[in-house]
Amino acid sequence: MKIFPLAAIVTLGMLPSVSTLADTKKPNIIIFLADDMGYSDLGCFGSEIQTPNLDSLARHGIKYTQFYNTARCWPSRAAILTGYYAQQVRRDTVPGVVPNGMSGVRPEWAKLLPAYLRQVGYTSYHSGKWHIDGKPLNNGFDHSYWLADTDRHFAPNEHYLDDKRLPAVQPGTGYYSTTAITSHAIQCIENHVATKPDVPFFSYVAYICPHFPVMAPSEDIAKYKHRFDAGWDKMRVERQTRIKQLGIIDCELSSRTPGVPAWDTLDKSDQAQWSDRMAVHAAMVDRMDQEIGRVMETLKTKKLLENTVVL
């Protein structure tokens, strides 16, 4: 199994060139993307959050310790799917260049990865957040579940199936964004195996979590109740120690972020609220790991592991 897990995002330079893919047995490709997650929020990078599935991928694959991204959402997504710097394709702010930033429209030559993979026989699937100009099906994807309402993890008003708007999800139906995104990705893989067993696929699974607002299923939050009661000052030292032991960093702890008070200056009520918020954030990462485990189990069940590149 070819596995390349990353704490945040990856570039396409790792993948074989399209011309190479045309001449060899084509692997399936899956990209998992987390939104606004720190690299040390994974267990394999020193976190106290339970991420056994991603930790397993790290043990059996390649773990990057000097990797960088744009630290923002839309430029990173543009870089991943085009292979260019975000500034080159008008998806980031460049002084004196209009349009830019979120309103930027990619040049005609800046096609997305699925458009190139289609030329060598791939079927492509998108599940989750988009945040790129245009729409998924107009940019090379064959099927898509696009969750545009990123502020409502439990009851989104705006989401699309194959670029057609779906009815709003009603509260209390058991919907959760991370699970719904994963279920669509799995459904695409299962349908693909049933209808196109000899065709390679590309699956782009773009989670919203753990981006603000922090929301998670209650059973996941319960796992981390009181886990962060010691406060951020103590826990950041503990995490730094683990990261050092893993050989990922060799530096002193940075100063506390300006504007963030010392934990022991907060009253008990504020400490309890912040501990609960950190528990919810941890639960979001935990749930994502669980859902990635479901995808990996699907690959195993369908006997796809040996010919799938996972990033």
Question: DSSP labels for the chain?
Answer: -EE---SS---GGGSPPHHHHHHSPPPEEEEEE-SS--GGGSGGGT-SS--HHHHHHHHHS---SS----SSHHHHHHHHHHSS-GGGGT-S--TT-SS-GGG----TT---HHHHHHHTT-EEEEEE---SSS-SGGGT-SEEEEE--TT-SSS-S-EEETTEEPPPPPTTS---HHHHHHHHHHHHHHHHHHH-TTS-EEEEEE--TTSSSP---HHHHHTTTTTTTT-HHHHHHHHHHHHHHTTS--SPPPPPPTTPPPGGGS-HHHHHHHHHHHHHHHHHHHHHHHHHHHHHHHHHHTT-GGGEEE-
Point out the catalytic residue in the list 126, 131, 184, 211.
131
Enumerate residues 6+ apart whose C-beta is below 8 A from 66. Answer: none
Distance CA 90, CA 171 (A): 38
Name the maximum alpha-carbon separation found in the chain. 64
What are the φ and ψ backbone dihedral angles of 270, each rounded to 5 degrees?
-65, -40
Judge whether 143 counts as a catalytic residue.
Answer: no
Q: What is the CA radius of gyration of the chain?
A: 20
Neighbours of 128 (CB within 10 A): 27
Please indicate whether residue 60 is annotated as part of the active site: no
Q: What positions carry a catalytic annotation?
A: 73, 131
